[in-house]
Chain A
């Protein structure tokens, strides 16, 4: 493993200009829970500005994959680079990666004891050292962008699921991340609220945000994704452009998965 990291380090110093540093690079990543292998030799590269949709059956390791990217889950083996920073367990690298990435969870995970605005300004103030006035301006900018500036003084519990998820997106954006990670952002929502969240995500995609989304919204995937990553039993089974993936899935597993999901 040390050999691998040496050669990649050399490659980076020898040819810094030749290829752009990818937003995410995973090489032979393993993650175990006891005897269970949640990620099994995963390789993944995400270029800057690329929109990736990760799909696959339940328990296939999608959440684990995305959570390893910002080190909420610690990978056991292999290499992960985010914007060229290696997740090698050094505190400063982990912090740097987390500052570059925003994450949106299935269950929103807003802080229930803080107002929408307080949720949004906490990290900009305590991590980036913004003054309260600056942080408020920033928060209002992004709350306007997700179309809920009028809810700023409310508590999360007073909002609908769709509104809460849009606040969660705004909160993440307030840290001005370079990469946005979404873990089934619409799965916990009532059907009529799915659209407003997907619209928000589409807008982000149009602005060129690098995105990795775990989602079963195949309409969204078709429309927005540059590439679909299909996972099964901890492995990346296939990757292809949406067109290709939906029309001609290569693996049997992807075919049965698509049969189940598209109806």
Chain B
């Protein structure tokens, strides 16, 4: 027992059961990013609204979801809500939890991106009598998006790893399936070596994609637009240090 078997690790890496877990991890991440972006955009808009009630509601949302562990949010949705008669499938619970949580982070990223576009850009658009929609779609959004890419990338990297928390509510993603294999064969290091390799591959692939996005959207040398600091994902990273 006191040795590490590389061949076993490799065989776990090519284990079909584990691979399907990887696909679930990817699926959860993609769905949470898409859902989180849509919801996050809405929350960012509310947060920037001049109506204090709407802005306050958005601030409360962000405060709440960034201030509590994702793990608790998932467990409450999965095992707490049924007590109130609200019951979802396991995968829906995971998605709802991940999207609600991710939206809070992305809302702040979206907001800081828009705030970093200088007021002069909007004024120039007004002076040209561009409509509010054209101003948003053609002037502010592209510039804000470019500023959002670095913090967005960090957040998605964290999210990719945070999906492992869904294992706690028995979603059979990469982490959960690793646990299952481990309990079956007791080759702890070998199983988790394979899982670790998959997480590294996924995060590295995302890094590469992010760099390409940055390059693509940064093609014009922007003299006056400031870069926005990556600030949001720190709290989420600490969530991953779970029991």
A residues bordering B, Cβ < 8 Å? 67, 70-72, 95, 98-99, 101-103, 105, 107, 109-115, 122-123, 126-127, 155-158, 171-172, 175
**B142 CB contacts on chain A under 8 angstroms:** 113
Contact of B121 with A111 in the complex, beta carbons under 8 Å? yes
Stretch of B5-13, B27-35, B217-225 lying at the A interface:
B217-225
Report B-chain residues with C-beta under 8 Å of the C-beta of A70.
Answer: 126-127
Complex Cα distance A99/B224, Å?
26
Docked CA distance A158–B128 (Å): 23
* Complex Cα spacing A102 to B126, Å: 10
Are the CB atoms of A126 and B220 closer together than 8 Å?
A: no
Task: Name the contact of B223 in the complex, choosing from A102, A123, A157, A171 (C-beta under 8 A).
Answer: A157
Please tell me which one of the listed residues A102, A110, A157, A158 contacts residue B127 in the complex, with CB atoms under 8 A apart.
A102
Please, which residues of chain B bring their CB within 8 A of the CB of A114?
A: 138, 220
Cα separation A72 to B123 with both chains bound (whole Å): 7
| Chain A residues with CB under 8 A of B51 | none
Q: Is B130 touching A111 in the complex (CB atoms < 8 A)?
A: no
A98 & B143 in contact (Cβ 8 Å cutoff): no
Chain A proximity mask over B124-166: 1 for CB below 8 Å, otherwise 0: 1011111100100011001100100000000000000000000
Task: Kindly report which residue of chain A lies nearest to residue B221, judged by CB atoms.
Answer: A157
A-B contacts at CB below 8 angstroms, number: 81
Q: Which of A105, A115, A155, A157 touches B124 (beta carbons < 8 Å)?
A: A105
Of chain A, the residue at the smallest CB distance from B126 is A72
Q: Look across to chain B and name the residue whose beta carbon is closest to the beta carbon of A174.
A: B128
Tell me the nearest residue of chain B to A110, going by C-beta.
B124
A–B Cβ pairs within 8 angstroms, 25 of them: A98-B126, A98-B128, A98-B129, A101-B127, A107-B120, A109-B118, A109-B120, A109-B123, A109-B124, A111-B124, A112-B143, A112-B220, A112-B221, A112-B222, A112-B224, A113-B146, A114-B220, A122-B130, A126-B130, A127-B130, A127-B131, A155-B220, A155-B221, A157-B221, A172-B128
User: CB within 8 A of B143: which of A105, A113, A115?
Assistant: A113
CA gap between A98 and B131 in the complex, in Å: 11
Question: Complex Cα distance A210/B128, Å?
Answer: 17
Is A113's CB under 8 angstroms from B126's CB? no
User: Contacts A99-B129, A113-B142: A158 and B124 contacting too (C-beta < 8 A)?
Assistant: no
Query: Contact between B143 and A122 (Cβ–Cβ < 8 Å)?
Result: no
A110-B124, A155-B220 in contact; A123/B139 too (CB < 8 A)?
Answer: no
- Inside 8 A of A105's CB, which chain B residues have their CB? 120, 123-124
**B interface residue numbers (CB < 8 A to A):** 118, 120-121, 123-124, 126-131, 134, 138-139, 142-143, 146, 217, 219-225
Chain B neighbourhood of A72, CB < 8 A: 123, 126-127
- Cβ-closest chain A residue relative to B134: A126
Q: Quote the shortest CB–CB distance from B101 to chain A (angstroms).
A: 31
Shortest Cβ distance from A175 into B: residue: B128
Contact between chains at A172 and B127 (CB < 8 Å): yes
What chain A residues lie within 8 Å of B124 (beta carbons)? Answer: 103, 105, 109-111
Q: Evaluate contact between B220 and A123: CB separation under 8 angstroms.
A: no
Query: CA A140 – CA B142 in complex, angstroms?
Result: 25
User: Given that A113-B143, A113-B146 are contacting pairs, would A175 and B222 also be in contact in the complex, using a CB cutoff of 8 Å?
Assistant: no
Excluding A109-B121, A123-B129, A172-B128, 5 further A-B contacts by CB distance (< 8 Å) are: A101-B127, A102-B127, A112-B225, A126-B138, A127-B128
Whether A122 contacts B120 in the complex (CB less than 8 A), given A99-B129, A171-B128, A172-B128, comes out as no
Q: In the assembled complex, which residues on chain A have CB atoms less than 8 Å from the CB atom of B220?
A: 112-115, 155-157
Shortest Cβ gap from A40 to chain B (Å): 23
* A123 interface neighbour in B128, B217, B219, B222, Cβ under 8 Å: B128
Q: Are A156 and B223 in contact (CB under 8 A)?
A: yes
Whether the pair A113, B127 counts as a contact (CB closer than 8 A) is: no
A110 to B220, CA, bound (A): 12
Q: How far is the CB of A82 from chain B (nearest CB, A)?
A: 13
Between B128, B138, B221, B225, the greatest number of chain A beta carbons within 10 A of the residue's beta carbon is seen for B128
CB < 8 Å neighbour of A126 from B126, B131, B219: B131
Given A72-B123, A122-B134; A112-B223 close (CB under 8 Å): yes
Nearest residue (CB) in B for A164 is B223
Q: Which 5 A-B pairs have CB atoms at the shortest separation, nearest pair first?
A: A157-B221, A109-B124, A98-B129, A155-B220, A103-B127
CA distance A223 to B134 in the complex (A): 39
Interface centre among B118, B123, B223, B224 (most CB of A within 10 A): B223
Smallest beta-carbon distance B126→chain A, Å = 6
Closest to B146 in A: A113
